[in-house]
A and B are shown apart, each in its own frame.
Chain A
Amino acid sequence: MASTRSIRVENLVKEYTAGKPVLNDISFTVSGKASVAIIGPSGTGKSTLIRCVNKLIPPTAGNVYVSDENITELSGKALRQARRKIGMVFQEFNLVERLSVMENVLSGRLGYVSPWRAWLRKYPQQDIDRAFELLESIGLIDFFRQRADSLSGGQRQRVGIARAIMQEPHVLLADEPTSSLDPKTSVEIMELLVALSEERGIPLIINIHDVELAKRFTSRVIGLSKGGIVYDGSPSALTNEHLKEIYGGEDWLQ
C-alpha cells in the first residue's frame, strides 16, 4: 500500500435552512486502522455528517478529504469515481432483496464495471474471486446463491459489509450498523467491522446509539451535540459528565 488511507473533515457546516446549521464547524481526522464512534442524541446530525462525507448530502461549507483528495469540490463523474473510495454500511442493510447474496456483494464493484457488463453479469474474474474470499471469511459462503431477503438480519448486515469492502475503500462509513439487530448480533457485527478495518488498514467511522458498544470496540469516541463536537478522545476517558453534556439530563445515567 502506497500511503496511509485517511479521511479529513475540515470546518464542515450543513444547513438545511439558512441560518440553522445542523452541523456547525466539524473538524476531525481519522487515518490508518483507527476506528471512531460518533455518538449523540437522535436528530443531532450524525447521519447527515456521514452523508456529507460522500456528498450524498452536499455540505453547505467546509471540505472533506479522502486520502488527500478533496471530495467536496467534485461533481458528476469525478464525484462518482471518488465515491468508490468510500465504503458505506447502513442501518437497514440496503441490500437489493431480490438479488442473490453474490450479486449484492459484487454490486460493490459497480463503480468499476461498465453498466453493460453489469447487465450481462460479466464481472471480472478477479472480482468474483475476491467476492468468494470475502464470503468465505465472513462465514456466508454456503449462502452465495440464496436471495438476500432469505437471510437473517445479522447475515444481511455481513453481506452489506462485504459489499462495502469490495470497493477496496479508503474509508468505511457505518450509519447505525447495529440498530436493527439484537444485542448478540450487534457485538458480532462490531467485531467484524473493527477486524476488517484493522486487518486492511481502512479508517472506520461508526454512528452508533449504544455507548457501551462504542466504548468496547472503538479506539476513539466523538460526541456530537446540537451540531457541534463536544467530546473527542479515548473511550476510557469518556465520563458520565461528558455523557450528560452530549445527551442532556442525568436521570437516565442512574
Chain B
Amino acid sequence: MSSASNHTWNRFTLAQRLARFTVFLGFAVALSASLRTVEVIPEFLYDAPTQVIDLLGRMWPLDLSYYPGGIHDAMVETLHIATLGTLLAIVLAVPVGIMGANNIVRLPLLNWLAKLILVSSRSVNSLVWALLFVAIFGPGPLAGTVCIGFRSVGFVGKLFAEALEEVNPGPVEALTAAGAPWPSVFLKGYWPQVVPAFWAIFLFRWDINVRESAVIGLVGAGGVGMVLDTALNLFYWDRVSVILLSIFTVVVLAELLVTKIRKHII
C-alpha cells in the first residue's frame, strides 16, 4: 500500500498534452483566419430574415396544379437518369474495383492506376461532369445519365475494391488448392463473400443518384432540374416550391424503399 501510493497516473504524457494543445491552437488560428476571409457584410446579414420571409411569401400558396403537366414527366426522367446512371457506374466500376483490390491484382502499378481512375471520378463534382457531357452530347437525359455514371464510378469502385480486400482468404486458398482456374476462384470464392456489400453499395449509390440527378438539370443535363432552372429564371416562386416539395418527397420515398430492400437482402 505504502509503495503503491507513490505512483502517479495521468491520461496523457507531457508530450501528448503539448501535441494536443498545438492541434487546438491550430484549429483556433484557422477559424479566425477563415472568418476574416469570408468578409461578412453586416447589412446583408441583418437583412436576411426579411428576405427569407419575403421569399417564403412569394412561394406561397403552392401552385400544385403545375405538377401533372410540368413536373411529373421530368421527375420520371430524373428517376430514369439515376437508375441507368447507377447501372452504367456498376458496369464500369466492377473491373476497376477488381483491378484496385491488392489481394486480387498483385501488381502495384495496376492498383495505382485503378485508384487514379477512381479518384479522378470522385474529384470532379457532378455539376462539372454534367457540363462536360452536355458539351459532348448536347442538353438532355443522355448527358445526365453518362454524367451520373462517371460521377458514381469512383464511389462504387472504391467501396467494391474495399469489400474485395476484406474477403476471408481461407475459401480462396481452398479453391486454389483444389486446382480451380482463376475465373472459378473469383466466382465461387470472392464473389459470394462480397454479394451483400455489392447490393448495399448499389442501393446506397442509387439513393444518392436520385438526389444528384435532380440537380444536374440546372446545367441542362435533363430531369427535374431543368424545370427548376426555368422556374427560377422566370421568378415563378410558387412553382419552385412545388418542385422542391416533389424532389423532397421522391428522395424520402427512395430512402424508405432502399432501407426496406436492404433489410431483406442483408
A and B associate in one complex? yes
A56 touches B188 (CB 8 A): no
A160 to B168 alpha-carbon distance, docked (Å) = 16
**Interface residue? B73 (CB, 8 A):** no
Q: Could you tell me the distance in whole angstroms from the C-beta of A78 to the nearest C-beta in chain B?
A: 10
Supposing A96-B193, A99-B188, A107-B188 touch, asked if A115 and B178 sit within 8 A by C-beta, the answer is: no
A111 to B179, CA, bound (A): 5
CB of A193 closer than 8 Å to a CB of B: no
- The docked-state distance in angstroms from the alpha carbon of A110 to that of B181 is 8
B179/A163 in contact, CB under 8 A? no
The answer, yes or no, to whether B84 is at the interface (CB within 8 Å) is no
Taking CB atoms, residues of chain B closer than 8 Å to A127 are none
At the interface, yes or no: A95 with Cβ under 8 Å from chain B? yes
Check: A34 CB closer than 8 A to any chain B CB: no
Q: Is the CB of A98 within 8 A of B178?
A: no
Closest to B174 in A: A94
Nearest opposing residue in chain B for A147, CB measure: B192
Please tell me which stretch of A81-89, A183-191, A214-222, A227-235 contacts chain B, meaning at least 4 of its Cβ atoms lie within 8 angstroms of it. A81-89
Q: Judge if A80 is at the interface, Cβ distance under 8 Å.
A: yes
Does residue A201 face the partner (Cβ distance < 8 Å to B)?
Answer: no
- Find out whether the CB atom of A84 lies under 8 angstroms from the CB atom of B175: no
Q: Cβ of A25 < 8 Å from any Cβ of B? A: no
CB–CB A115/B181 < 8 A: yes
**By the criterion CB–CB under 8 Å, are A54 and B177 in contact?**
yes
Closest to A56 in B: B177
Q: Give the 5 A-B CB pairs with smallest separation, nearest first.
A: A111-B179, A110-B180, A115-B183, A94-B170, A83-B179
Q: Are A111 and B178 in contact, with the CB atoms below 8 A? A: yes
B178 lies within 8 A of A167 (CB): yes
Residue in B177, B187, B193 whose CB lies within 8 Å of A98: B193
Set of chain A residues within 8 Å of B179, measured between Cβ atoms: 80-84, 110-111, 167
> Taking the complex as formed, is A108 at the interface, i.e. its CB lies under 8 A from any CB of chain B?
yes
| Residues of chain A from 113 to 166 with CB closer than 8 A to chain B in the complex | 113, 115, 118-119, 160, 163-164
A90 touching B174 by the CB < 8 A rule?
Answer: yes
For chain A, give the interface size range.
Answer: 20 to 34
A212 to chain B minimum Cβ distance, whole angstroms, is 27
**B189, CB-defined interface residue at 8 Å:** yes
> Do A111 and B180 form a contact, CB below 8 Å, given A98-B195, A99-B192?
yes
- Name B188's closest neighbour in chain A (CB-CB): A107
The interface residues of chain A lying within 8 Å CB-to-CB of B178 are 83-84, 87-88, 107-108, 110-111, 163-164, 167
- For residue B176, which residues in chain A have a CB less than 8 angstroms away from its CB? 56, 83
Contact residues in A for B196 (Cβ distance below 8 Å): 98
- A82 surroundings in chain B (CB, below 8 A): 179
Is B181 a contact of A96 with CB atoms below 8 Å?
no
Which of these, B177, B184, B189, B193, contacts A88 with CB under 8 Å?
B177
B193 to chain A minimum Cβ distance, whole angstroms, is 7
Cβ distance B205 to chain A, nearest Cβ, rounded Å: 22
A92 within 8 A of B: yes
Q: How far is the CA of A119 from the CA of B173 in the complex (A)?
A: 19
Q: A118 to B174, Cβ gap below 8 A?
A: no
Q: Does A163 contact B187, Cβ atoms closer than 8 Å?
A: no
Pull 17 A–B residue pairs with CB atoms less than 8 Å apart, ordered by A.
A83-B176, A88-B178, A90-B174, A94-B170, A94-B171, A97-B168, A97-B193, A103-B188, A107-B174, A107-B180, A110-B175, A110-B180, A111-B178, A115-B184, A118-B184, A118-B188, A160-B174
- Does A92 lie within 8 Å of B187, measured CB to CB? no
Interface string of B38-53 (1 = CB under 8 A from A): 0000000000000000
Residue of B nearest to A118 (CB): B184
Contact of B175 among A81, A107, A119 (CB under 8 A): A107
On whether the beta carbons of A94 and B192 are closer than 8 Å, the reply is no
Complex Cα–Cα for A96 and B168 (A): 9
Taken together as a complex, chains A and B put the C-alpha atoms of A88 and B173 apart, in Å, by 10
Instruction: Determine how close the nearest CB of chain B comes to the CB of A205; give it in whole angstroms.
Output: 13
Q: Which residue of B lies closest to A164 (CB)?
A: B178
- What is the bound-complex CA distance between A84 and B12, given in angstroms? 57
List residues of chain B with CB within 8 A of the CB of A87: 178
Other A-B contacts than A98-B192, A110-B188, A111-B178, 6 sampled, CB-CB below 8 A, are A54-B177, A107-B188, A111-B181, A115-B184, A118-B184, A160-B174
- List the A side residues contacting B193 at CB < 8 Å: 96-98
Which of A93, A108, A110, A115 has the most chain B CB atoms inside 10 A of its CB?
A110
Q: How far is the CA of A113 from the CA of B179 in the complex (A)?
A: 10
Q: How far is the CA of A119 from the CA of B181 in the complex (A)?
A: 12
List of A residues within 8 angstroms of B168 by Cβ: 97
- Report A160-214 residues with CB < 8 Å from chain B CB: 160, 163-164, 167
| Contact between chains at A56 and B173 (CB < 8 Å) | yes
**Considering residues B173, B188, B193, which has the most beta carbons from chain A within 10 angstroms of its beta carbon?**
B188
